[in-house]
Structure 1
Amino acid sequence: MFRFLRPYRVAIALVMTLILIQSLSELYLPTLMADIVNRGVIEGDKPFIWRMGGYMLLITLLGTTVSILASLYASKISSGFGRIVRGKVFQHAEHFSLQEFDRIGTASLITRTTNDINQVQQVLMMMLRLMVMAPMMCIGGIIMALYKDAELTLVLLVALPVLAGAIWLITSKGMPYFKAIQKKLDRLNLVLREGLTGIRVIRSFNRTAHENERFTEANADLMQTSIKVNQIMAVMMPVMMLIMNLSTIAIVYFGGLRIDNGAMGVGDLMAFIQYAMQIMFSLLMFSMMFVMVPRAAASAARINEVLELEPSVTDIDNVSTTAQAVSEGDAKEASPGIGGVVEFNKVSFSYPGAEMPALSDISFQAGRGEITAIIGGTGSGKSTLIHLIPRFFDVAGGSVRVGGKDVREWTQEELRKRIALVPQKAVLFSGTVAENIRYGKEDATDEEIRRAAEIAQALDFVSAMPDGFDSVLSQGGTNVSGGQKQRLSIARALVRKPEVYLFDDSFSALDYKTDAKLRSALRAETADAAVLIVAQRVSTVMDADRIIVLDEGRIAGIGTHKELMETSGVYREIVSSQLSEEESA
């Protein structure tokens, strides 16, 4: 993921330089203090004290200034990095087929785009500060301590390995718990999400207490793990302070002996103690990085998994010889018919890991100005068939054509410009009614929006809203009914005026009267387009020009209502389960 830092190479170099200056200034201060004590205080040279004190103040101000600038630029770099990665993940996910969304999961994609990127962003900001400062302070402190008194540095030779070992032992004990926290946080989020999104079902079955118990269990599990890791990490500071204080006592003791022998000045001892503290604190900085980097690495791996996942449905600039051969072969086998706008020729499709194909040997044509209805039992492959037309999935065998051209030869953008889909579950976005309808056509006029709403039988309830088409819909359209959401979704498709309309069980929430009025208005509006309707109701499909009956992924009959009543047992069974003999005649 470091490749996303390329735009900030200059800024990173600037941060490194600023941290270097800050480290040098902090390393120089104890030496100035030693000079003040040795020459100014002991010898009583007050002008020297004032002069060196002024130097110390200037260096402190310089160090403070560069520290602020380093923090500012580190924040800009990490925030910019987060912005770039979020953009890349979102743009890449937009090209996923439904297969990739099913594989990763929508909720997981949201978590990876928010929480995981934030984790990496925070650690990046720490690394920009610490990965230069920690080694600089450690190495520089050792050099300055050797410069002040090489023999006294033997105390550090004992203390530093002990301190490093203690830090390593504590962090190694705590690291597994940090990884466990991430998994238990995922579990808590899962239970919480299920509890909130399924609140209607939970209350209707009086399972509130059960869900409270599930949440309490997941919450307590996370709490216990968090307490355990904090207990382990809480040991670090006392242990570190103990080792540092014992080291200070040893330095003072042996340093006092060297002062008595005249081998060392008092100021040099004071400076040596400060250098020892700087060295030990730099080790603590390293330990903080060791704790946070593995957590960020886990998040980075999850982000990379999304970025490295190749979409199964892609555009091709030049159709390969194989694809051309397949298309030409299909074209020869396809019935000349009426030159349908949508053509299926021996199409088969299987979901990944499925034992049985979802569709097998599907062939039909849907012509311009015709209504083609698709009906069948649950799991017969109706929605899957519809989703192959806009290339939400790619066929495993055969071909799907729109306008005489294999959908794999269109770019996805060009193909979908010719199609308007009303999904099985109506989806509305937060915004006004007009904005939701205009989603189908960005430059639609107010008159076009009104006309689409009228045909979709939505004009009456929209006009009754306080602000009409400017009325605001909440997220997911929760402030309108299911039938109203379906009609607004249909209006969104109608305003597009495409070559192909796909209605995926889009009339299920409508009453019979509204359903009949809508279908009557649709026939006149869609006279120049091919219309494919997936439906469960027989009454919705009875007047279609062509009805395709699906049974376990295969076509069990094609024809008009009257023809199928005579030739298709599956269709007669569906009709008899819904309509009386008089209604079905």
Structure 2
Amino acid sequence: MIRELAKSIREYKKVSIMTPILVSMEVVMECLIPFIIANLVNQIKAGCEFQVIAVYGLVLVLMAGISLLFGAWAGNTCSTASCGLAKNLRKDMFYNIQNFSFENIDKFSASSLVTRLTTDVTNVQMAYMMIIRIAIRCPLMLIFAFIMAFVMGGKMAAIFLFVVPVLGFGLFLVIRRVMPLFRRVFKKYDALNSSIQENVKGIRVVKSFVREDYEKEKFDRAAEDVCSDFTRAERILAINNPLMQFCVYAVMVFVLSFGSYTVITSRGIDLDVGQLSALLTYSFMILMSLMMISMVFVMITMAEESGKRIAEVLTEGSTLHNPENPVYDVKDGSVDFDQVSFKYSQAAERMALADIDLHIRSGETIGIIGGTGSSKSSLVQLISRLYDATEGRVRVGGVDVKDYDLETLRNQVAMVLQKNVLFSGTIKENLRWGSESATDEELVHACKLAQADEFVSQFPDGYDTYIEQGGTNVSGGQKQRLCIARALLKKPKILILDDSTSAVDTKTDALIRKAMREFIPETTKIIIAQRTASVEDADRIIVMEGGRINGIGTHRELMENNEIYREIYTSQNKAGDQDA
């Protein structure tokens, strides 16, 4: 895990190395200052002249200035290094996510990926900041202060040999209890983010069904779960403060009482006022260093689990890879399924698709119909290699899809998915996802084919109209037509419409299909639909049931020979007659 995270330091190695060096110099200066002050006190006690005091004062000011300089410099380099690491971690994770196949994405929920990119990276950033600064400063301060305490206080400094183990053991018990809680809480963060994401995304549905109270209760449960674990962890961590206070006051009472007695009586230990003041200062340094070390351990404990979650994303390799010598040319739009079976994961008990033997000629219009869960979408997702077939093989243009360069294949197989998304930006910017170099004339032509030009032209800003995130300021049917236009701009050899005209009226649906027949006759068109009217004029219609092909034929042939198709057609037309 550490090795994987360390790869993201990259250009920030220099400042990461400089920070501990600068911190070390700061600590040296801080530890020498009490020693100089002790000598000054002793000199004043001995009745030194003002010139001696002035020299000591200048030395102290110079040392304090140097310490401040090193401290500020270390703070700057530390911030640069930690923020840079966080930036690179987010970048590396995001870039790797872009390479994920659908199978990889299924493994991580969207809410979990968001948590890893935000909360987990922030935890690692804070831990890294502490590691290269506080985790260097505190042990050094502890060691130097120990040495100087024994130099200045002699046998009296032995008090630390009793106090430090007590404090250390107490902190060990605290951290041991806290670690499992922090490990568990991040999974609950995922659930909390999932609740927020789902609610915000579906806020219109929530309001239309007046389910605000239900969503609030669901959120409260997730938030309460996170709060409960954090509260337990914070209660345990709260022991740190009284334990530290106990040790600090115990040392103060001992040093002040026994030290004052020794200074006054000059018995037992050779100790003067300057040494006593230095010993008090070093005792605070030692105990505060231990306190800070405990905070570092707590932060590292939190960050350890976050680091593992980040490393999981960074090390996750796509299940889809380019072959060694990929094919860069798709000959035509023919599609062949040779005894294909498919399941979404190796652990799945049943196949989503089974024994698919299907051959589509280039330029054909193919309709696919079937009930919910009949794996219509699963079938077409194998064509553009969003998933790989578990058994058998899928060929496009006579070549196995696994032999193609992925980018080449997907540029020639355009899919308009069931849940297509418009991104924030203008309509032109969204359309140019299909072709970055598309001219305004090409945009208009694609929109005319998709029956989108009419409503786009009616917007005050036309094609420069700004689309809100997720396309919330356009209707479902308008969004679908813009997504179809975007796909057409790719000028693909295969166009797949996965129930992507469900939100448009039957007249517009018919106009879209007519435009496709007339203007892109050489493109293979695969239309998944719930309405038989959307596929009636297809060259062939495939009827799916339970992940298998139940029947293939024209509308007339299926009406005569396929019971499922006939039932769907009859029920829809009866419903239409009753509505009329």
> If the TM-score is normalised by the length of the shorter chain, which range does it land in?
over 0.9
Whether 2:396 is the aligned partner of 1:402: answer yes
Distance verdict in 2 for CA 1:42–1:536, change over 3 Å: same
**Structure 2 residue 541 is matched with structure 1 residue 537:** no
Contact 2:480 2:501 in 1 (8 A): yes
Give distance in 2, aligned partners of 1:481 and 1:280.
65
Instruction: For 1:180 and 1:364, locate their aligned partners in 2 and report how far apart those are by CA, in whole Å.
Output: 48
Picking from 441, 464, 487, the partner of 2:458 is: 464
Structure 1: which 5+ residue stretches go unaligned? 320-337
Q: CA distance change for structure 1 residues 557 and 299 in 2, over 3 Å: closer, same or farther?
A: same
TM-fit CA distance, 1:318 = 4.3
The answer to whether the 8 Å contact 1:96/1:312 transfers is yes
3-state SS, counterpart of residue 300 of structure 2: helix
The correspondence of residues 104-503 of structure 1 with structure 2, limited to 5 A, is: 104-259=108-263, 260-261=265-266, 263-318=270-325, 341-352=334-345, 353-503=347-497
Given that residues 123 and 296 in structure 1 are in contact (C-alpha distance below 8 angstroms), is that contact kept between their aligned partners in structure 2? Answer: yes
Aligned match for 1:28, one of 29, 32, 37:
32
CA shift in 2, pair 1:206/1:4, >3 Å: closer
Partner of residue 89 from structure 1, selected from 89, 93, 96: 93
Deviates more, 1:392-401 or 1:206-215: 206-215
Aligned pair in 2 of structure 1 residues 419, 217: CA closer, same or farther (>3 Å)?
closer
Q: Deviations over 1:92-122 (max 9, x none)?
A: 1112111121121122112111211111111
Deviations 1:59-111 (A, max 9, x none): 11111111111111111111111121112111211121111211211221121
Q: Could you say what secondary structure the match of 2:415 adopts?
A: strand
Shift of 1:512: 0.8
Matches within 5 A, 1:68-87: 68-87=72-91
1:519 to 499, 513, 519: 513
Quote the Cα distance in structure 2 between the aligned partners of 1:217 and 1:367: 54
- Tell me, yes or no, if the aligned pair for 2:322 and 2:404 is still in contact at 8 Å: yes
Q: What is the aligned partner in structure 1 of residue 573 from structure 2? A: 579
1:346 aligns to what SS in structure 2? strand
Confirm or deny: 8 A CA contact 1:340 1:404 kept in the other structure. no
Query: Aligned equivalents of 1:296 and 1:166: distance in 2?
Result: 21
Q: Please state how far the C-alpha of 1:194 moved relative to its aligned partner.
A: 3.8
Distance 1:279 1:71, change over 3 A: same
Q: 1:174 to 1:393 in 2, by over 3 A?
A: closer
Q: Distance in 1 between matches of 2:198 and 2:338?
A: 42
SS in 1 for 2:373: coil
Q: Aligned partner of 2:504: which letter?
A: L
Q: Distance in 2 between matches of 1:219 and 1:46?
A: 65
C-alpha contact 1:456 1:490 (8 A) present in aligned 2: yes
Q: Determine the C-alpha separation between the residues in 1 that align with 2:542 and 2:307.
A: 48
- Partner-residue secondary structure (3-state), 2:281: helix
2:402 aligned counterpart, secondary structure: coil
Alpha-carbon distance in 1 for matches of 2:556, 2:229 = 67
Q: Secondary structure at the match of 1:536?
A: coil
1:240 alignment partner, SS class: helix
Superposed CA RMSD in Å reads 2.3
The residue type equivalent to 1:290 in the other structure is F
Shift, 1:150, TM fit: 2.2
Secondary structure of the residue aligned to 2:368 is strand
Measured in 1, the distance between the counterparts of 2:208 and 2:466 equals 29
User: Structure 2: 5+ residue runs without aligned partners?
Assistant: none
Matched, 1:4 2:8: yes
1:392 and 1:84 map into 2 onto residues whose CA distance is: 28
Q: Report Cα offsets for 1:536-577 as digits up to 9, x if no partner.
A: 111111111121222222222222222222332332222222
After TM superposition, give the deviation of residue 204 of structure 1 in Å. Answer: 4.1
1:366, 1:532 within 8 Å by CA — same for their partners in 2? no
Secondary structure, counterpart of 1:550 in structure 2: strand
The CA deviation string for residues 428-470 of structure 1, in whole angstroms up to 9 with x for no partner, is 1000011111110000000000111111111111011110000
Deviation for aligned residue 1:220: 4.0
Change (3 A) 1:289 1:401: same
**Cα 1:258–1:542 shift into 2, 3 Å:** same
Structure 2 CA distance for aligned equivalents of residues 371 and 224 of structure 1: 57
* 2:333/2:493 contact within 8 Å kept: no
Q: Give how far 1:580 is off.
A: 5.9
Deviation at 1:32, TM superposition (A): 0.8
Paired amino acid for 1:261: S
User: Do the aligned partners of 2:339 and 2:391 also contact (CA within 8 Å) in 1?
Assistant: yes
Deviations 1:372-429 (A, max 9, x none): 1111222112111110011010011222111221110012111112121111123110
Contact 1:368 1:527 in 2 (8 A): no
Is residue 365–residue 526 contact of structure 2 (8 Å, CA) maintained in 1? yes
Identity %: 40
Q: Does 1:569 align with 2:563?
A: yes
Aligned mates of 1:28, 1:339 — CA distance in 2:
80
CA distance in 2, matches of 1:147, 1:582: 97
**Deviation of 1:161 (Å):** 1.8
1:160-184: CA deviations, max 9, x gaps? 2222233334444444444454444
**CA 1:13/1:425 → structure 2, altered by over 3 Å: closer, same or farther?**
closer
Q: Is the 8 A contact 2:334 2:363 kept in 1?
A: no
The 1:340/1:11 distance shift into structure 2, 3 A limit, reads: closer
Q: CA deviation at 1:186?
A: 3.8
| Secondary structure in structure 2 of the residue aligned to 1:392 | coil
Q: Does 1:60 align with 2:59?
A: no
2:48 equivalent in structure 1: 44
Inter-partner Cα distance in structure 1 for 2:174 and 2:338:
66
Deviations 1:175-202 (A, max 9, x none): 4444454444444334333443343444
1:331 counterpart residue number: none
Deviating more after overlay: 480-489 vs 175-184: 175-184
Q: Which moved more, 1:156-165 or 1:209-218?
A: 209-218
Cα gap change, 1:158 to 1:222, in 2 (>3 Å): same
CA deviation profile, 1:12-60 (whole Å, cap 9, x unmatched): 2211110110010001100110111011354232111111111111111
